[in-house]
Each structure stands twice: as C-alpha cells, then as structure tokens.
Structure 1
Amino acid sequence: MKILRFTFVLCLLAAISYGQKEPQKKIKPKRTDNYIRMKGIRLGADITRPFQDLWTKGNRYGTEFSADMELWPNLFPVFETGFDVMKIKTSYIDYKSSGSYSRIGMDYNFLQAENKNDKNIFYVGLRYGFVLARQQVNSYTIDSYWTPTTGRFSNQNYFAHWGEFLVGIKGEIIHNFYMGWTIRGKIKLNNKDLGMPPTYFIPGYGKAEKGFNLDFTYSVYYNLPWDFRKSIDRKKDAVMDKKVGKIIKKPATGK
C-alpha cells in the first residue's frame, strides 16, 4: 500500500509540474544591427494604372513608375512619377485632362528581420505629390427651354499638389523580383482656380472637387543588385592607397 501511495503522489506531482510549464513560443528576434537588408535600388511599375476606368467614372488610364532603396535600416526614400489621362465624352460634353505628376516621400518597415536574406516588408508611408496638367473642353451642350446652348473652352494649364498617407506590403516572389500593393489616402493641399470651367480632374490625385480621395495600387518590382556602399568604400580605399603611395615615394630632403 505504501508503494502504491508513493507512486500516486509522484504521478500527481509530475502532473502539477507539467501543467505549470508554459508552452514555449517562437519569438522573432528584434532588429538591433545596422546592416542594410535590401542592397541596390528597387524599380517598380504600377500594373493597375492602365485599367483605372474599371472603377472610375470616365475613361481614365495612365502609367506610373517608382524607385526606392533602404538608405537606413527600415527607412526607404521613395520617388514615384507617372502620366495620367481622363476623358469624358457624352452627348453633353467632350472633356479631356492630362498631365505628368511626381511624388516624393518615405516608407517605414514594421516587419522584423530574421536574417539578412529576409527582404519582405510591411510599411506605412508619407508622400508629397504635385502635377503640371492641362484640361480642355472641346464641346459642351446645355439644354434650355428654347434652344440648346453649345460652345467650347480653350486649353487651360494648371498646377496642383497634395499629400498622401499609405499602407502596403512588398514581398519577394523570386530572387530580386517583388510584388506588392498599397492603399492610399490623398489630401488636396491646393489647386489653381481656373474659373470657367472649374478644374474637374487632377492627374495623379483624382476628382478635384473632393478634398480627400482613396486610391489602390498594385505593382511589380525588380531590385537592381548594386551595392553602392561597397563601391563607395572601394573608391575611398583607392584614394587612401594613392595618398599613402605618394607619401612613401616622396624623397627625403636633407640640409
């Protein structure tokens, strides 16, 4: 009986001690080093820009390209540029607006790196955008009780700028090739008052009458694997070697 009691107590203590152990969780190490995860420059093209008319009223299409690099750990300066066109042609109006726009800004990555080969990022970013654009109304018709009024407006050039905040991801599909999406909120800062007709569409931004626009992009990227930091270090070393060589070869002067 004593042996049975002793065995029961041991089993009970083992069960209690096992229940008190917490399961071990795999925790990703925080990024505490200063290495640059993505070497070189990443070039991208937005594949949604030619198909904007699928979710926008009117015939809207364009192109957009981007470039970014990890200049500091988790910080990516970004430059984006594109060309945007909006056409509306109905029985009442024949309208067109077009222009080249650019955006500059910064992205911050929140994903932790497990190793130097981990290049996927989840980021938030800020942008400042601006555009030089032109709009024209080739013809318009206004119905009235007696007879319709028709006319046209000459070309109008204008400048506009806006700010953006965005969230997105970029994932490496195969070596040096990436895909990713962004959701963008755009806040209009200012655009020129053209009088009649008023500005209807701002390339790169959207409808001019709205102070806030939402946009979605989906892009493909290629990372040019150029480690410019090593190139800079090699140039520095070469300059230093030349200086040292000149000092060594310089003949000693005596009195």
Structure 2
Amino acid sequence: MRTFRFTISLLLLITAKISAQEKAPQKVYPEVYGLRIGTDLVKASRNIWDKNYKGFEVVADYRYNKNWYLAAEAGFEDRFQEDEQLSFTTSGMFLKVGAEKNFHKNWLDMNNLIFVGGRYGLSLHNQTLHRYRVNTGTAYFDEELQYPELKSTGLSAHWLELVVGIKTEVAQNVFIGMNVRLKGLLFQKQPDGFENLYYPGFDQKYSGNIGVGFGYTVSYLIPFKKKNPK
C-alpha cells in the first residue's frame, strides 16, 4: 500500500512539474528591421595607396521582409591610367540598385547574412584620352605616338551584376561585409572615334563585356522596428 501511495505521489509531482514548465513563458528574440548604411573599404583605402585614384562608395540596404533586402550603392570615381599603349583619365558618378536574399538561419538575436542578389548599374562619366600609339602596319617604321588630349563628356554605361557575400555583426549594430560580383555590360554611350576605357562603378571590362569585382564593407544598422518571429 505504501509503495502504491509513493508511486501516485511521484507521478503527480512529475505531472505538476511538466505542467509548470509548459506554462512558463518562452523568451522571444524579435527580428530587427531597419536601414544599414556604410562604405566600401577597398575604394576608401585606395585613395591612400593609389595616387592615380580618387573615389568613394556609399552602400545601403533595407530589410523588406524576413529574408529579402532592398540594396543600393552610389559613389564617385576619378581614375588615371597609363601604360605603353595609352594613357587616359575617367571621372564620373555611378548608381546601383537591386535586392538580395538572406539564406542564413540566425540564432537568438543574431542578424548575420549570407546572401545572393543582383544589381542594375548605371554610370555617367567623362573621359580624356591623353595619348595612344598608332600601329604603322610596317616593320620599317616605329609605332607613332599621338597626343590628342581628346576629352569626351556625357558618356554612360548600363550593366547587371550577380552579387554573393556575407555580412557579420561584430559589435552592436556594426557590420563587416565581403562580396564578390560578376558583371555584364548591357549597353553604353562611347566617345566619337574611340571607346570607353573605364567605367565608374564597373571598373574595366574584359572579353565579351564581362567584368568581375569584390568589396569589403563596414556599415551601421539604424533600427526602425522589431517584429516577433512567426
């Protein structure tokens, strides 16, 4: 009889404990929605170590829903380049707009991203061709150097980008990011009698109007609101 009473008491105690645990409130970590804004560290540092370059880029993204972010980059570049064949200067502004999807499943109150996205890019720039070599077509005469100082204004370029990258929160609301990009030139307005040699925001193109790039960013998240996860 005592064994039966002890068993009943033990079962009641376990049931009460489980019931209390089930009724205990679970801590909820809300998801942060806001504007993240920063700069590209590659372009910022290049002003220091490359005397032929001046430029900057502002980067931003806004969380649209749980996994999707609206994103944009804008900036200015002034680039002088010289080699054996030619020398030129290109300067102008650029803008990129698009979106990216986060594939990272965050724990608790983390806000890190592993993302894939796309951009539509536009540059408005000027180009000055300082000199270039002309092939004479014969081995008896050296190539001729031309110094036209040909300045072309009102140039433009349009392209698409595939972007893959990460953004990691290293301090409260402070993020460090890294990305790689594959770019495809769509169409452009070129100088009369020559071609665009550099595109602000796109860099140089390779065969088939293809370009590649990478970036390192630092940014700060301005929280607008918080939502409890479903």
- TM-score category (smaller protein): 0.7 to 0.9
Match of 1:226 in 2: 224
Structure 1 or 2, whichever has the larger Rg, is: 1
Select the residue among 119, 127, 144 that pairs with 2:111.
119
Q: Secondary structure at the match of 2:32?
A: coil
- 2:92 is the alignment partner of 1:96: no
- After superposition, where does 1:170-249 map in structure 2 within 5 Å? 170-208=167-205, 210=207, 211-227=209-225
Whether the 8 Å contact between 1:37 and 1:70 is mirrored in structure 2 is no
- 2:136 is the alignment partner of 1:138: no
When the two structures are superposed, what TM-score results if normalisation uses the length of structure 1?
A: 0.66
Q: Secondary structure at the match of 1:48?
A: helix
- 2:164 is the alignment partner of 1:167: yes
Select the residue among 149, 154, 159 that pairs with 2:150.
154
Whether the 8 Å contact between 1:199 and 1:208 is mirrored in structure 2 is no
Q: Secondary structure at the match of 2:107?
A: coil
- 2:44 is the alignment partner of 1:47: no
Q: C-alpha distance in 2, partners of 1:153/1:214? A: 29
**Shift of the alpha carbon at 1:77?**
0.2
Whether the 8 Å contact between 2:174 and 2:218 is mirrored in structure 1 is yes
Q: Which amino acid aligns with 2:77?
A: D
Range with bigger deviation, 127-136 or 87-96 = 87-96
Whether the 8 Å contact between 1:51 and 1:61 is mirrored in structure 2 is no
Match of 2:75 in 1: 82
Match of 1:64 in 2: 57
Range with bigger deviation, 44-53 or 60-69 = 44-53
Q: C-alpha distance in 1, partners of 2:223/2:106? A: 19
* RMSD after superposition: 2.9
Number of aligned residue pairs: give it. Answer: 192
Whether the 8 Å contact between 1:121 and 1:169 is mirrored in structure 2 is yes
Over 3 Å counting, the alpha-carbon distance change for 1:227 and 1:148 in structure 2 is same
Q: Secondary structure at the match of 2:166?
A: strand
Over 3 Å counting, the alpha-carbon distance change for 1:172 and 1:147 in structure 2 is closer
Q: Secondary structure at the match of 2:219?
A: strand
**Shift of the alpha carbon at 1:111?**
1.0
Q: Secondary structure at the match of 2:111?
A: coil
When the two structures are superposed, what TM-score results if normalisation uses the length of structure 2?
A: 0.73
**Shift of the alpha carbon at 1:208?**
4.0
Range with bigger deviation, 157-166 or 187-196 = 187-196
Structure 1: runs of 5 or more not aligned = 1-34, 230-255
**Shift of the alpha carbon at 1:159?**
1.1
Whether the 8 Å contact between 1:178 and 1:222 is mirrored in structure 2 is yes
Q: C-alpha distance in 2, partners of 1:193/1:41? A: 36
Whether the 8 Å contact between 1:97 and 1:134 is mirrored in structure 2 is yes
Whether the 8 Å contact between 2:205 and 2:211 is mirrored in structure 1 is no
**Shift of the alpha carbon at 1:70?**
0.8
Whether the 8 Å contact between 1:52 and 1:60 is mirrored in structure 2 is yes
Greater relative contact order (CA < 8 Å, ≥ 6 in sequence): 2
Whether the 8 Å contact between 1:50 and 1:63 is mirrored in structure 2 is yes
Indicate the percent of aligned positions where both proteins have the same amino acid: 26
Q: Secondary structure at the match of 1:222?
A: strand
Q: C-alpha distance in 1, partners of 2:71/2:225? A: 18
